[in-house]
Amino acid sequence: MDKIRVIGGRPLSGSVAVGGAKNAALPAMAASLLTQDRIELENVPRVRDILTMRNLLRDMGSRAEVSDDGTAVLQSSDIRSREAPYELVKTMRASILVLGPLLGRFKSARVSLPGGCAIGARPVNLHLMGLEKMGAECEIVHGYVEASVEKLRGARILMDTVTVTGTENIMMAATLAEGETILENAACEPEVSDLADMLRSMGARIEGDGCRTIRITGVGALHGCRHRIIPDRIEAGTFAIAAAITRGDVEIERCNPNHLAAVLEQLRRVGADVDSGKDRFRVRCGGTILSENVTTYPYPAFPTDMQAQYMALMTQGDGDSIITETIFENRFMHALELVRMGADITLEGRQALVRGNGPLSGARVLASDLRASASLVLAALVARGETWIDRVYHLDRGYDRIEEKLARLGAGIERVR
């Protein structure tokens, strides 16, 4: 098991390029099931979840190659299995994204229920509600969703909760349904719009993505395409907080600052200088970090995937701040590890009270989920002495060699195999 060792106290400086968005590449790979033609993706990040999706598609009989240069070639001219097995799904919940495409093109699917994870129960009831509204029969048998349909029909679907992968699953299925689907209270995340762009380049008819109501008019078949994945706004935000917490000066490149406007605005509120360009932004932070409250909400508000990283920053704040997590019911696991590094954090339901109390001290800590791991790395960058982070496989699910990128910015960080 790899570990990450950090010696804290060094301000970061220099520039870092952001990779492709994991949460855009995963639905894009699943979308390749919607056509028999070849799909080429560019700017695919080299992270573990991408390889898990690749393996899932291969197990189904698809051709799926992901190269080190960030290109992926996918083709599901025909498939031999319409099943996403428990062994794979339990390691990556996003496997549920094959359900909509399989139903849309192959009319049946057997997908293991993802089950919960460290941050919450993670139900998929709204995915199933939407597909059932389109005529599918979905049954839960032995922990699997067994779904089938003669032909999906367009429907009017109102989502009780904003769900990113729920919106993506239904949007993909609707591209091959009979007639029009109106999806209300849809997710507006940039990754949803990126998927819609890709589907349109495959011949799909989709309008309104990026807003709360998406209209999809079904077509007979979709064809291949070449699509470039958008930059990862969460990786960009993670480096922005790394610059602020170490009182550094970092240029974050090859990203889209508009995709993380709420994060950059919050960094300005806590006293960082943030200058944005078209595909880059610069974060400088001299002295005091102000303690400012934040609440996570669906896009375009402050993203839940940046909450853990922001909590690490607030441990360095000049007073008290309250962080409210409205998306997931158990996304404070990182708080307990930050406390072991000397942070003063009190948890109360969906709220965390963070008392900025000066320097943290290095310790042995344990990563519990992807963004919690990032939070511990950020805290270690500013802690006194040495920090060891165990279970870094969580980190590798969503970050491509983050320790190398941080080391190039001057951090005292290394991976110990």
Q: Which residues are catalytic?
A: 117
Please give the residues from 92 up to 121 whose contact with ligand EPZ meets the rule CB under 6 A.
93-94, 120
Tell me how far apart the alpha carbons of residues 318 and 341 are, in angstroms, rounded to a whole number.
18
Neighbours of 287 (CB within 10 A): 7
211 alpha carbon, distance to own chain's centre: 19
Strand segments, DSSP code E, in 160-239 are 180-184, 205-207, 213-217, 225-228
Is 166 near ligand EPZ (CB under 6 A)? yes
Do 313 and 241 contact (CB within 8 A), yes or no?
A: yes
For ligand EPZ, the closer CB: 291 or 296: 296
Shortest Cβ distance from residue 186 to ligand EPZ (Å)? Answer: 11
Is 25 near ligand EPZ (CB under 6 A)? no
82: buried, middle or exposed (CB in 10 Å: 19+, 13-18, 0-12)? buried
Is 373 near ligand EPZ (CB under 6 A)? no
Tell me how far apart the alpha carbons of residues 189 and 250 are, in angstroms, rounded to a whole number.
26
Do 106 and 83 contact (CB within 8 A), yes or no?
A: no
Q: Which of 281, 328, 332, 399 binds ligand EPZ (CB under 6 A)?
A: 328
For ligand EPZ, the closer CB: 160 or 273: 160
Is 169 near ligand EPZ (CB under 6 A)? no
For ligand EPZ, the closer CB: 164 or 245: 164
The helix-helix angle for 48-60 and 22-31 (nearest 10°) equals 10
Query: 238: which DSSP letter?
Result: H
Q: Which of 35, 62, 112, 163 binds ligand EPZ (CB under 6 A)?
A: 163
Is 124 near ligand EPZ (CB under 6 A)? yes
Please give the residues from 127 up to 146 whose contact with ligand EPZ meets the rule CB under 6 A.
127
Q: Which of 112, 165, 193, 316 binds ligand EPZ (CB under 6 A)?
A: 165
Is 337 near ligand EPZ (CB under 6 A)? no
Shortest Cβ distance from residue 365 to ligand EPZ (Å)? Answer: 18
Shortest Cβ distance from residue 167 to ligand EPZ (Å)? Answer: 8
Report the sign of the C-alpha dihedral through residues 133, 136, 137, 138, in that order: negative
Do 6 and 411 contact (CB within 8 A), yes or no?
A: yes
Tokens of 292: 């400012």
Please give the residues from 240 up to 279 whose contact with ligand EPZ meets the rule CB under 6 A.
none
Is 304 near ligand EPZ (CB under 6 A)? yes
3-state class (DSSP) for residue 36: coil
Tokens of 303: 């993203």
Is 164 near ligand EPZ (CB under 6 A)? yes
Stretch that binds ligand EPZ, among 33-41, 62-70, 142-150, 158-166 (CB under 6 A): 158-166
Q: What is the dihedral of CA 66, 69, 71, 76, to 10 degrees?
A: -20
Is 20 near ligand EPZ (CB under 6 A)? no
Do 388 and 3 contact (CB within 8 A), yes or no?
A: yes
382 sits in the region (left: phi over 0; alpha: psi -120 to 50; else beta) called alpha
Is 332 near ligand EPZ (CB under 6 A)? no
Distances (CA, A) of 263 to 6, 292, 302: 25, 12, 6
Is 327 near ligand EPZ (CB under 6 A)? yes
Is 126 near ligand EPZ (CB under 6 A)? yes
Shortest Cβ distance from residue 314 to ligand EPZ (Å)? Answer: 19
Is 125 near ligand EPZ (CB under 6 A)? yes
Tokens of 152: 């999906």
Is 81 near ligand EPZ (CB under 6 A)? no
Shortest Cβ distance from residue 216 to ligand EPZ (Å)? Answer: 18
Q: How many residues bind ligand EPZ (CB under 6 A)?
A: 23
Shortest Cβ distance from residue 284 to ligand EPZ (Å)? Answer: 27
Tell me how far apart the alpha carbons of residues 98 and 84 are, in angstroms, rounded to a whole number.
8
Binding site for ligand EPZ (CB under 6 A): 23, 26, 93-94, 120, 122-127, 161, 163-166, 304-305, 327-328, 370-371, 398
